[in-house]
Amino acid sequence: MRIVAVTDPDTALAFRLCGFETFSVGQADPAPILKDVANRKDIGLVLVTERIAKKAGETFEELLSEKTIPLFVEIPDTKGPLEKRKSVAEKMAAIIRR
């Protein structure tokens, strides 16, 4: 199983330099890309920048809570973490409560 990153163009460059397959999202809606990645059998982990996840909205939240493989994980981008962002522990607690 592979690890891929769905990011903005600047962050994608950093991941490509590390050898990761990346899906760069500019101004386009990231939801179709995330859905496509979610259905690929060769991917085990999808790193998604916080801003891309926020832009995808409900689509990302659905994938995060419903999919076990691949696992979707939010990461900061090259601009740093978003303010007032829930911690990983808070998100996991919310998923467990469902």
Q: What is the pLDDT of residues 15-36, one digit of tens each?
A: 999 999 999 998 889 999 999 9
- pTM equals 0.81
DSSP symbol at 2: E
CA distances in angstroms from 9 to 22, 29, 85, 96, listed in the order given: 9, 14, 22, 33
Every domain of the chain and the residues it spans: 2-97
Q: pLDDT grade, residue 82 (50/70/90)?
A: confident
CA dist 16 and 8 (Å) reads: 12
2-97 is classed CATH 3.40.50.10580:
yes
